Chain A
């Protein structure tokens, strides 16, 4: 079993729709949760960064973490064709100071927003 599981999609929505992207994780040591956006043949771009449970909002994006169910979500409001990309969730543990911060990624969800 992978430590971070993500539905690969593909997911196709009309412009303006609310998009919900989800991941589950199995490692209870994970405390940090990230969402990256990756356009085709490009490197991942950091979108959201959260610690522990709760919500974080940034413009049209909202990240949500429920540690009790080990569930991570990213919501995109008023989706645009420019949001079409692969979205990767990633997690990491609260390691001691001086330890490497190793990210564990899901396999990514491919999103297409149709004009």
Chain B
């Protein structure tokens, strides 16, 4: 049973550019959450997607946007990159419309903004 997968593993971008990160949830899971983890910090909630809609957003600007596809996979887009956006971006999936707090994380995408 494949767990949560994310791509790419890491990437380097320049300030002002745009980036798209991808996530495939664990088999049987229909809800995807995205988190940002800065170095030495715990993950911070960005937003959650269920039934192809953003259900809740954390304290992140509109430069962060997302999408969920009919097969439950998801994308995170970040526009106008800032140096402070450098972090590990984690995708977490959960079953049953996210009614459970049992969120399973992928390996993350490490984004470096120069």
Contact = CB atoms under 8 A, between A and B. Distances in A.
B70 interface: no
B1 to A, nearest CB: 15
Interface stretch (A13-21, A57-65, A71-79, A97-105): A97-105
Interface string A80-101: 0000000010101000011111
Interface residues of B, number: 31
Given A100-B98, A101-B100, A108-B42, 4 more contacts: A32-B101, A45-B105, A97-B99, A103-B92
Contact of B105 (A44, A97, A99): A44
B76 interface: no
Contact of B106 (A43, A100, A107, A108): A43
B97 interface: yes
Interface in B92-113: 92, 94, 97-108, 110
Contacts of B16: none
Given A49-B101, A92-B101, A102 B108 contact: no
Given A43-B4, A46-B103, A100-B33, A105 B43 contact: yes
A-B pairs with lowest CB-CB distance, top 5: A105-B42, A100-B56, A43-B105, A100-B48, A100-B55
A107 B42 contact: yes
A103 B56 contact: no
A111 interface: no
